[in-house]
Amino acid sequence: MRQIKHLFIFSALVLLMGFSFSNFLGIYHQTILALCGINIILAVSLNLVNGFTGQFSLGHAGFMAVGAYVSAALTTLWLPTLTNPFLMTEIGVNLFFLFALLAGGIAAGLTGFLVGVPSLRLKGDYLAVVTLGFGEIIRIFILNIEPIGGARGLIGIPQLSNLYWIFGFVLLICIWIHRIVSSIPGKQFMAVRDDETATSAMGLSTTRIKVRSFVYASFFAGIAGGLFAHYIAYLNPATFNFNYSFQIVAMVVLGGMGSLTGSVAAAILLTGLLEALRPLQDLTGVDLRMVIYALTLIVLMLTRPEGMFGRHEIWEFFKKFKKSPQGFVR
């Protein structure tokens, strides 16, 4: 019964968000919201690795690229060759899109597994460098595949993604990750973060735990990539360079390592800020956006080095909890 109730609340929420966003906002604000939503998924999923498991990954954009290209290749190259009449209908196309998204996510998760198994035996700086390298390898690999556009980019992707899809996945993934980190395997992630030696002394395989967290994160990044590809309707390997990975890391650090709502807030802030500052260009004549963007990061990091929310979730501030529900004192 409880599940049905939750499912009902969830669908109502998605419909409400999708409906209000698509009907009361112009396409420009919708585009910004869509990008916010995609960045939320990326930040929240990276938080699983960087925040909750304490492993520093710098290759998130690479996994997003895998998901984006796999799903876009399915809908752009494979879908038009299928002759099943069901796939011509609105429902059929959307179901195929869901399938493509999941396929992209699974491909990204698989890549995450292949990258994670050798590299997650490393720690700290070494892991950061290795993931950075893998992220670039994935991008260069895509750059050399001719059928999906190579350096020119993949054109003609059907615009299937919309705010219903994006915010449906945002809600689903946020809830999913929240449930992961509140479960026993999630506690294992945090155990690895807090004391790896103690965790392995307890008889747990820390590498396995780290790989699991990494695969989850890559899977979600792949979904975000699929949503991105079908919203922008054009893919270019240059989009997924390490700058994008850094941006996602900035969101996680700014929001607070280990705070899901922090990542959500930071993703909205950083995505929205750059767009909100555009009018400034009209007033001053020079593009000050990146200067202010960088200054915001510096000021926030100096005043709150632990990130906006630290390790807390937003509701903990309102309930004035001394202890977080997870049971550890910060």
Q: Is 305 in the site for another protein (CB under 8 A)?
A: no
Q: Is 92 in the site for another protein (CB under 8 A)?
A: no
Question: Which element (helix H / strand E) includes 67?
Answer: helix 60-73
Least spacing, CB of residue 14 vs another protein, in Å: 21
Of the candidates 25, 111, 7, 13, the one whose C-alpha atom is nearest the C-alpha of residue 68 is 111
Q: Is 23 in the site for another protein (CB under 8 A)?
A: no
Least spacing, CB of residue 19 vs another protein, in Å: 19
Tokens found for residue 59: 């290759």
Q: Is 152 in the site for another protein (CB under 8 A)?
A: yes
Q: Where does this chain touch another protein (CB under 8 A) — which range of 9-17, 24-32, 84-92, 99-107?
A: 24-32
Q: Is 238 in the site for another protein (CB under 8 A)?
A: yes
Tell me the torsion sign for CA atoms 143, 144, 149, 151: positive
Nearer to another protein, 9 or 145 (CB): 145
Distance, CA of 8 to CA of 4 (rounded, Å): 6
Q: Is 141 in the site for another protein (CB under 8 A)?
A: no
Q: Where does this chain touch another protein (CB under 8 A) — which range of 87-95, 191-199, 219-227, 273-281?
A: 273-281
Place of tokens 């967290």: 213
Q: Are 192 and 250 in contact (CB under 8 A)?
A: no
Cα→Cα distances 296→137, 250, 266, 274, 291, Å: 31, 11, 11, 11, 9
DSSP letter (8 states) at residue 232: H
Nearer to another protein, 165 or 216 (CB): 165
Q: Where does this chain touch another protein (CB under 8 A) — which range of 13-21, 109-117, 211-219, 232-240?
A: 232-240
Q: How far apart are the first and last CA of the chain?
A: 36
Tokens found for residue 43: 């930040």
Which of residues 130, 163, 223, 308 is near another protein by CB under 8 A? 308
The site for another protein (CB under 8 A) is made up of 26-29, 31-32, 35, 143-144, 150-153, 155, 228, 232-234, 236, 238-239, 265, 268-269, 272-273, 275-276, 278-279, 281, 287, 289-290, 300, 303-304, 308-309, 317
